[in-house]
């Protein structure tokens, strides 16, 4: 079974072909850890994990990187509201979301 992806540049679905034969590299933006994770923040995690699993099942070697945003305006605002260092917020929420 082949995988087709939508190419926004060409505005059409195209057969997926990795840059390096047999190997796929994925980078996925993860949640911002200022509060409990929402459905919106969960969606990319679930969807791209499914894509990764499908690619591995299809025989590709997959390098999957998923970040967690641990400093930005919402985190700083939350830390100011709680009168704590931003690292307290990100550590707490990061552990909850892990």
Angle formed at CA 12 by CA 11 and CA 16, multiple of 5 degrees: 120
Strand 23-28 and strand 12-15: pairing? unpaired
The pLDDT tens digits of the residues spanning 27-73 come to 998 888 878 888 888 898 899 999 999 999 999 999 999 888 778 89
Q: Can you list the domains of the chain with their CATH numbers?
A: 19-97 (3.40.50.620)
Which pLDDT belongs to residue 37? Answer: 80
For residues 9-14, give the mean pLDDT: 97
Residue 63: predicted pLDDT: 98
Helix (H, G, I), strand (E, B) or coil at 21: coil
């Amino acid at each position: 079974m082949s995988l087709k992806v939508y190419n926004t540049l060409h505005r059409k679905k195209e057969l997926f072909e990795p840059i390096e034969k047999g190997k796929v590299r994925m980078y996925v933006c993860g949640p911002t850890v200022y509060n409990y994770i929402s459905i919106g923040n969960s969606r990319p995690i679930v969807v791209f994990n499914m894509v990764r699993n499908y690619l591995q099942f299809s025989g590709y070697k997959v390098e999957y990187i998923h970040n967690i945003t641990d400093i930005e305006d919402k985190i700083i605002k939350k830390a100011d509201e709680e009168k704590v260092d931003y690292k307290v917020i990100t550590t707490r929420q990061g552990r909850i979301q892990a």
